[in-house]
Structure 1
Amino acid sequence: MIRLIFSDMDGTLLDENGNLPAEFGAMYARLKERGIRFAPASGRQYASLVQTFAPWRDEMIFVAENGTMVMEGGRELFSSPVERSLALEIMRMGERLAGVQSVFCGKRQGYLHSADDAPAFRAELSKYVSQAAVVGDFAAVDDVPIKMSFCDFSGHAETTILPAMQVFRDRLQVSLSSTEWVDLYNFGVNKGSAAQQIQQRLGVTPDECAAFGDYGNDLELMGAVTHSFAMDNAIPEIKERARYLAPSNLENGVMAVCERILAGEFD
């Protein structure tokens, strides 16, 4: 019997406008009644996830920032800080990339450089980071770094950001999180490793877990559960790794599979 569901957000649970399915609240109530917990697992900031799931903020486990920050009931379960001097070195590299915006992701909030504080970037950033401050120098940030993120609006992050950041691949993970975003964070930290730690804490086995994903930062999550679902709109690597295929996010695929879970199809 499935007791815990992990779900990515963008391109997975959310629609093309970044909204939850209209029936999510009713579905969540049915899952909760059956003793099935729901854990959003995203590259998004914890504050952003709490904003999206405000009615259930004290009930869910939040796997935020690609697994570098895991929270429950407003309490940190675990996190993975990046060594500060290395984080600042990476931010300086990002500032040298033409047409690229940088975000220093701390435990408390995100930080963007004053040079990047433009309405267009603010709009893009607000999808993932709901609490952000503007700074003139990342070295002045008084927060614990857990992730460094870089955005290319052109949708070519794989060629404009990723190659430059590979210089750090011997010290940190360098992850292409979407066509626009590249994230750097500690080795061994990802949605999958976070899911495994949560399983251990709750006494839940991989056979009792389901997970949904669509992009590269969901690869390890697909391997952490028995019932792994690639969205129909997922990249080929996710479809190869996952055990099952779900309808696309535009077809409310997560909700459709949750109906099957409640029907006992995967017991």
Structure 2
Amino acid sequence: MIKLITTDMDGTLLDENSNLPESFTEVLNLIREKDVKLVIASGRPYATLQTNFGPMAKYLSYITDNGALVFHNNELIFKDVMSKDIVQDILKKAKTIDNTTVVLCGVECAYIENCSDEYLEEIKKYYVNYEVVDDLTKVNDDIIKVTICDLETSAKNSNTILEPLFEDKLNVVVAGPLWLDIMNKTVNKGTALKKIMDTLDIAKDEVMAFGDYYNDIEMLNQAEHSFVMKNAPEDMKQHAKYIAESNEDYGVLGAIMEHVILA
């Protein structure tokens, strides 16, 4: 029996306009009646997710910043802070890459330097709490993720430069067409999901997971009932047992209705 459902946001639960399905609240209420926990797993920060879900936010648990932070029952139960030296090393190299800008992610706030409106429009989609600073190297905060906004596409541009440099020390992952996330080696959505599973004493065969991109792989591996979205890159589809309908066709809610509500 399914006791926990976890889902990615962009390209998975949300449609192409980054909107929640209209029936989300109805389906959430139905799974809550069955005492099933819903965990949102995203590269987005906690403050943004709270805004995204509005009045329903209090009923959810969250894996944020691709696993660097975990919130359960509205409390922070896990964080994985990067060393200041490694953050400086990333900044030094990232600033040399064309067509990119860097976001430093703290627990409560993100930090950016002045950038063009094109970058700012993309950043504001995901970060509601951010501060513009003169120099990112002088930010004095616990940093849990460095993310690169890459208008040349992250897989072909920033990832080809940064992954070879840091893959031995850090988790460097393409988190979306325009985003590259860099975190501690121990950080991923799967590790974070296991924290919640252990807290609730939930086994792998009681977990359903949905994802569409490479930063979802470890999370999918933690779930016996794993789904990759039909709209995902083709090479992602080997990482799950099932294929869900696309995010445009509300595949997450459709699978939940079939396998949890109506089962």
Which structure 2 residues correspond to residues 133-148 of structure 1 after superposition, within 5 A? 133-148=131-146
- Tell me what 1:162 maps to: 159
- Tell me what 1:241 maps to: 239
- Tell me what 1:185 maps to: 183
CA-CA distance at 1:124 after TM superposition: 0.6
CA-CA distance at 1:109 after TM superposition: 1.0
- Tell me what 1:105 maps to: 105
For residues 133 and 92 of structure 1, what CA distance do their matches in structure 2 show? 20
Q: Which moved more, 1:3-12 or 1:139-148?
A: 139-148
User: What letter corresponds to residue 9 of structure 1 in structure 2?
Assistant: M
- Tell me what 2:119 maps to: 121
For residues 260 and 220 of structure 2, what CA distance do their matches in structure 1 show? 20
Q: 1:217 to 1:4 in 2, by over 3 A?
A: same
* TM-score w.r.t. length of structure 2: 0.96
CA-CA distance at 1:246 after TM superposition: 0.4
Cα pair 1:210 1:228 within 8 Å, conserved: yes
Cα pair 2:30 2:261 within 8 Å, conserved: no
Cα pair 2:72 2:196 within 8 Å, conserved: no
CA-CA distance at 1:22 after TM superposition: 0.4
User: What letter corresponds to residue 151 of structure 1 in structure 2?
Assistant: C
1:253 aligns with 2:255: no
CA-CA distance at 1:264 after TM superposition: 4.9
For residues 68 and 169 of structure 1, what CA distance do their matches in structure 2 show? 17
- Tell me what 1:149 maps to: 147
Cα pair 1:59 1:72 within 8 Å, conserved: no
Q: Which moved more, 1:91-100 or 1:191-200?
A: 91-100
CA-CA distance at 1:57 after TM superposition: 2.4
- Tell me what 2:47 maps to: 47
User: What letter corresponds to residue 86 of structure 2 in structure 1?
Assistant: L
CA-CA distance at 1:31 after TM superposition: 0.8
User: What letter corresponds to residue 220 of structure 1 in structure 2?
Assistant: E
Q: Counterpart of 1:157 in 2: which secondary structure?
A: coil
For residues 91 and 74 of structure 1, what CA distance do their matches in structure 2 show? 32
Cα pair 2:69 2:78 within 8 Å, conserved: yes
Cα pair 1:213 1:238 within 8 Å, conserved: no
Q: Which moved more, 1:130-139 or 1:207-216?
A: 130-139
- Tell me what 2:192 maps to: 194
Q: CA RMSD in A?
A: 1.2
Q: Counterpart of 2:42 in 1: which secondary structure?
A: coil
Q: Counterpart of 2:226 in 1: which secondary structure?
A: strand
Q: Counterpart of 2:147 in 1: which secondary structure?
A: strand
Q: Which moved more, 1:229-238 or 1:9-18?
A: 229-238
CA-CA distance at 1:58 after TM superposition: 2.2
Cα pair 1:218 1:238 within 8 Å, conserved: no
Cα pair 2:68 2:144 within 8 Å, conserved: yes
For residues 197 and 72 of structure 1, what CA distance do their matches in structure 2 show? 10
For residues 250 and 33 of structure 1, what CA distance do their matches in structure 2 show? 26
For residues 7 and 213 of structure 1, what CA distance do their matches in structure 2 show? 6
| Gapped regions of structure 1 (runs ≥ 5) | none
- Tell me what 1:217 maps to: 215
For residues 166 and 104 of structure 2, what CA distance do their matches in structure 1 show? 16
Q: Deviations over 1:65-112 (max 9, x none)?
A: 001111124321101100011112212211111111110111111111
- Tell me what 2:15 maps to: 15
User: What letter corresponds to residue 3 of structure 1 in structure 2?
Assistant: K
Moved over 6 A (4+): none
Q: Counterpart of 2:252 in 1: which secondary structure?
A: helix
Cα pair 2:205 2:223 within 8 Å, conserved: yes
Q: Deviations over 1:21-73 (max 9, x none)?
A: 00001111111111111111011111111111121222211100001111124
For residues 103 and 254 of structure 2, what CA distance do their matches in structure 1 show? 35
| Gapped regions of structure 2 (runs ≥ 5) | none
Q: Counterpart of 2:98 in 1: which secondary structure?
A: coil
Cα pair 2:146 2:181 within 8 Å, conserved: yes
